[in-house]
Amino acid sequence: MPTSSDIDGRLTPLHEFGTNPGSLLAHTHFPSSFPKNGPLVVVLHGSTQSAEGYDSGSGWSTLADECGLALLFPGQRRSNNAIGGFNWFERGDSRRGGGEPLSIRQMIGRVVDDHAIDPKRIFITGLSSGGAMTSVMLATYPDVFAGGAIIAGLPYRSAGTLMQALVRMKGYGGPSDRELDALVRGASTFKGRWPTISVWHGDHDTTVASINAHAIVRQWQKIHGVEGPPTRIEEVDGFPRRVWCERGGREVIEEYVIARMGHGTPIAAEGGDGLGVAGAYMLEVGISSTRRIAGFWGLTEQSGRTSGKTGKDGLRGGTGNGPRSGLAASRGQKGP
Where in the sequence numbering do the catalytic residues fall? 128
Degrees, nearest 5: CA angle 72-76-161: 120
Distance (Å, whole) CA 49 – CA 149:
18
291 to each of 1, 47, 104, 323, how far by Cα in Å?
Answer: 14, 22, 23, 24
Is the CA virtual torsion 223, 226, 228, 234 positive or negative?
Answer: negative
First to last CA, the chain: 31
Please answer whether residues 136 and 216 qualify as being in contact, where contact means their C-beta atoms are separated by less than 8 angstroms. Answer: no
By three-state DSSP, how is residue 262 classified?
coil
Helices (H) and strands (E) in the chain, counts: 9, 13
Query: Would you put residue 227 in left (φ > 0), alpha (ψ -120 to 50) or beta?
Result: beta
Strand-pairing partners, residue 186, are none
Please answer whether residues 238 and 287 qualify as being in contact, where contact means their C-beta atoms are separated by less than 8 angstroms. Answer: yes
Contacts of residue 227, Cβ cutoff 8 Å, sequence gap at least 6: 221
